[in-house]
A and B are shown apart, each in its own frame.
Chain A
Amino acid sequence: MSKVKELILPVLLAVAVLAVPLVIKNPYWLNVLILILVWTSLGTAWNILGGYAGQLSLGHSAFFGLGAYTLAITATRFGWNPWLGIALGILLAVPLSLFIGSITFRLHGPYFVLGTLAIAEVLRLVALAWRSVTNGAVGIMVPRLFMGISRAPFYWFIAAVAIVAVGLTWWIERNKVGYYFTAIREDQETAESIGINTTGYKNLALVISAVISAVTGAFYASFLSYIEPDIVLSEPVSLQMAIVAIIGGRGTVLGPTVGATLLVLASELFRAQFKQAHLLIYGLLLMAAILFLPGGVLGTIQQRLKDRRAARLAATGATFVARKEAS
């Protein structure tokens, strides 16, 4: 019964998100919402590996780019249906993530971060140089997943991806897997010693994370209709994924959603307001966020609530003790 109750709110949320195009018809805002959902999906993907399992990657553009390029190459070179291209992208994300994992999971701390960054850079350079397959910097025109003038189908597709990603996070947090992930994050050696297969679970987190990134990459390619290595395989993509998750709240279910909303809206507004200085403001805000909200927006709110509840518990505990002594 409580299980059903627990589901009510998330399902309502999902329905609300899917209903948006019925209310908001303005293409410009629909477009902004699509970008928010793209970054929600990516931030959430990063969060499963970085926020829960504690493996801080700065190389996720590799998976994003893989999804984008798989769709683009199969559609343009072999005339595949784009949906098949997306499916293949998902399939390919698994071996690629296991391969990258086999290298980088042997590294620790900052070396893991820098290692993932380096591998993603190598892939970008290879995509630039391997012209016979990728067209190099000339890029590839990508067919649209949905015909017609309305952006709504695009919205529904990426909303579905985002909902699945967030739902998966929600499920992970409430299940054994989530405990294993956080155990690895908090102290890998201890997790190992109590019999958790750390390598296995790290790879699991990486595969889930990579698959979501690849689907989003494929969607983004079709949404943009044109890709080249510097758009989908570049370092800023990986960075922005981490920024979204961290500003929103690392290791929280809705943190990346909050982060994506704030960042996309901020960049849209800044572009209009601050013109030349918009990236400067963005950088300052990023610094401020890390300094003053190290747990992210949602992480900080949750921490406050916890503290307050703890304080209340302590207070009631104290009165209870006092009463006992009085009697």
Chain B
Amino acid sequence: MELLAQLPQNLVSGLLLGGMYALIGVGLALVFGVMDIVNLAHGAFLMVGMYTTYLLVNHLGLDPYLGILVSGPILFVLGMLIQRLVIKRIATASHMNQILLTVGLSMVLVNTAQLLFTADYRQIRTSYAETVIRIGSVSMNLAYIISFFLAVAITVGLYLYLMKSEFGRALRATSQDIHAAQLMGVNVQNVQMTAFGLGMALAGAAGALLTPVYYLYPTVGENFGLKAFTMVVLGGMGSVVGAALGGVTLALAESLGQIFVGHELKDAIGFFVFILVLLFKPEGLFGRARA
């Protein structure tokens, strides 16, 4: 087993996948870390983003990456609607009720997709995904590279926005002390709705970035539901940048870990890391870099 020979490829693969993971983690960080909603439908949101991208590419002939500009706002509005109609009512309910409600929501979204698109799997073919860049023994798919940089750009943009904007301040205030925020004149209702919309839009963006390199089918999000929580926990609750780093860390752990435990158990690595972090470093690996 030429461990060293495999290392560079696995590093690069993990890092590129990490970009997508980062966006998934950041989306959940807003909903779970900041708003304290235990949302198991995050994987389904990713799936909705993927199908939206698929429709834009197939029926409007849009470029999948430009599609984010369309699918992002669509999912943002959809997220706000879901928050207003459903999530709002359980914001203060027990965590178990939140979980079961979001499981129900996930079933509804997944099975709606199944009725609309059947269980068949689909993929979009782009010239990016056909282009391969080789550096030494390492091969990189251009689509992965673009997706990675876009993911980084979106995360950085979001971070700056949250740091600088009025909304960012209101969001931080709300997540720290909802009553105090209300007294200070923050419209808490709107903040929570916007945060959920943003979370869904980010999951959708991650879906859009995955579409060119992956394939879509209604249950595609299942793999990412619990993983997203791992990323948020790794990054430290409430930290947007932390969740992004958590996503990259998890992707690297899976990619490097499988050299030792094989591909079959790579998902177990994530769960294992999740439990260890909860037990020994509950504040997350990246401290409390509050965003």
Do A and B have CB atoms closer than 8 angstroms in the complex?
yes
Residues on A facing B (Cβ under 8 Å): 50, 56, 58, 103, 106-107, 109-111, 113-115, 117-119, 121-122, 125-126, 128-129, 239, 242-243, 246, 250, 276-277, 279-280, 282-287, 290-291, 294
Q: Judging by beta carbons under 8 Å apart, are B100 and A122 in contact?
A: no
Chain A residues with CB under 8 A of B90 = 290-291
CB within 8 A of B229: which of A109, A114, A280? A114
Does B278 lie at the interface of the complex (its beta carbon under 8 Å from any beta carbon of A)?
Answer: yes
Q: Chain A residues near B32 (CB, 8 Å)?
A: 110
Is B123 close to A, CB under 8 A?
no
B-chain residues with CB within 8 Å of residue A246 when the two chains form the complex? 96-97, 100
CB nearest to B107 among chain A residues = A283
Q: Counting CB contacts under 8 A, is B272 at the interface? A: yes
Asked if B289 is an interface residue, CB under 8 A from chain A, the answer is: no
Task: Identify 15 residue pairs between A and B in the complex whose beta-carbon atoms are under 8 Å apart, listed by A's number.
Answer: A56-B99, A58-B99, A118-B226, A122-B268, A129-B264, A129-B265, A280-B107, A283-B105, A283-B111, A287-B101, A287-B105, A290-B97, A290-B101, A291-B90, A291-B101
A-B contact count (CB 8 A): 114
Question: Is the beta-carbon distance between B271 and A111 smaller than 8 angstroms?
Answer: no
Question: Which B residues have a C-beta under 8 Å from some C-beta of A?
Answer: 32, 38, 86, 89-90, 93-97, 99-101, 103-108, 110-112, 114-115, 226, 229-230, 233, 262, 264-265, 267-268, 271-272, 274-275, 278-279, 282
A113-B38, A283-B105, A287-B86 known; A242-B272 Cβ under 8 A? no
A324 CB to closest chain B CB, in angstroms? Answer: 41
Chain B's closest residue to A288 (CB) is B104
| A286 CA to B100 CA, complexed, in Å | 8
Chain A residues lying within 8 Å of B265, measured Cβ to Cβ, are: 125-126, 129
Q: How far is the CA of A128 from the CA of B262 in the complex (A)?
A: 13
Contact of A103 among B93, B106, B279, B282 (CB under 8 A): B279
Instruction: Give the residues in chain B near A103, CB-CB below 8 Å.
Output: 275, 279
Nearest CB of chain B from residue A102's CB, rounded to whole Å:
10
Closest B residue to A128 by beta carbon equals B264
Alpha-carbon gap, A128 to B265, bound state (A): 9
> Could you tell me the dominant secondary structure of chain B's interface residues?
helix
Using Cβ atoms and an 8 Å threshold, which residues of chain B touch A128?
264
CA distance A113 to B229 in the complex (A): 11
Q: A110-B95, A114-B38, A290-B93 are in contact. List 18 more A-B contacts (CB 8 A).
A: A56-B96, A111-B278, A118-B274, A118-B275, A121-B271, A122-B272, A129-B264, A242-B99, A279-B110, A283-B107, A286-B100, A286-B104, A286-B107, A287-B86, A287-B101, A287-B108, A290-B101, A294-B93
Task: Name the residue on B nearest A286 (C-beta).
Answer: B104
**Chain B residues whose CB sits within 8 angstroms of the CB of A121 once the complex forms:** 226, 267-268, 271
Determine if B100 and A115 form an interchain contact, defined as CB atoms under 8 angstroms apart. no
Which chain B residues border A110 with CB–CB below 8 Å?
32, 38, 95, 99
Select which of A107, A125, A129, A279 is within 8 A of B111 by beta carbon: A279
* Residue in B106, B108, B271, B282 whose CB lies within 8 Å of A118: B271
Q: Which residue of A lies closest to B222 (CB)?
A: A235
B residues less than 8 Å from A107 (CB atoms): 278-279
Query: Is B268 in contact with A125, judged by CB distance below 8 angstroms?
Result: yes
- Which of chain A's residues have a CB closer than 8 A to the CB of B114? 276, 279
- A115 to B273 alpha-carbon distance, docked (Å): 11
Q: Flag if B108 contacts A284 (CB, 8 Å).
A: yes
Please provide the 10 A-B residue pairs with the shortest distance between their CB atoms, ordered closest to farther. A283-B107, A286-B104, A280-B111, A287-B104, A118-B271, A283-B108, A56-B96, A125-B268, A290-B101, A110-B38
Chain A neighbourhood of B97, CB < 8 A: 246, 290, 294
Residues of A within 8 A of B96 (CB): 50, 56, 113, 242, 246, 250
Q: Is the CB of B107 within 8 A of A114?
A: no
In the bound complex, residues from chain B placing their C-beta under 8 Å from that of A118 are 226, 230, 271, 274-275
**Which chain A residues lie closer than 8 Å to B279 at the CB level?**
103, 106-107
- Collect the chain B residues with CB atoms within 8 Å of residue A279's CB: 107, 110-111, 114
Chain B residue, CB-CB nearest to A247: B100
Chain A residue with the shortest CB-CB distance to B270? A118
Are B268 and A290 touching (Cβ within 8 A)?
Answer: no
Least CB separation from A243: chain B residue: B100
How near does chain B come to A280, taking the closest CB pair, in angstroms?
A: 4
- Inter-chain CA distance A114–B96, complex, in Å, is 10
**Interface contact A280-B275, CB-CB below 8 Å:** no
Q: Is the CB of B100 within 8 A of A291?
A: no
Residues on A with C-beta less than 8 A from B95 are: 56, 109-110, 113
- A115, chain B: closest CB distance, angstroms: 6
Complex CA distance for A232 and B118, rounded to whole angstroms: 27
**Smallest Cβ distance from B112 to chain A, in angstroms?**
6
Quick one: closest B residue to A295, CB to CB?
A: B97
Instruction: Give CA–CA (A287, B41) in the complex, Å.
Output: 12
Separation in Å of the A207 CB from the closest CB of chain B? Answer: 21
Give the distance to chain B from A209, nearest Cβ to Cβ, in Å. Answer: 15
